[in-house]
Amino acid sequence: MTEPDWDWEALYDRLTSLATIAHIIDSTPLDRATRHVSLQRLVRDTDEASKMAAFILAREGGTPA
């Protein structure tokens, strides 16, 4: 298995995407199915952002709190 190529720019992009999704969910009237799909995407992307941050922290010699 190859190591992911995550860096600060990739993490920033993921976090910006999370903020955009959250804003859309909060400010746009969505039908139930679209809202659920959007929330599922938010959950998946949040999990990936957490993994990215942990990876960057470990690469820099830190350990999670």
Residue 28 has pLDDT above 80, yes or no: yes
Give the pLDDT mean for 47-57.
Answer: 95
Helix (H) or strand (E) holding 55: helix 32-59
- Of the pLDDT bands very low, low, confident and very high (cuts 50, 70, 90), residue 1 is low
* Alpha carbon distances (Å) from 64 to 21, 33, 34, 48: 26, 36, 34, 15
Question: What percentage of the chain reaches a pLDDT higher than 70?
Answer: 97
Written as one letter, the residue type at 58 is: A
**Cα 47–chain centre separation:** 6
Three-class secondary structure of residue 5 per DSSP: coil
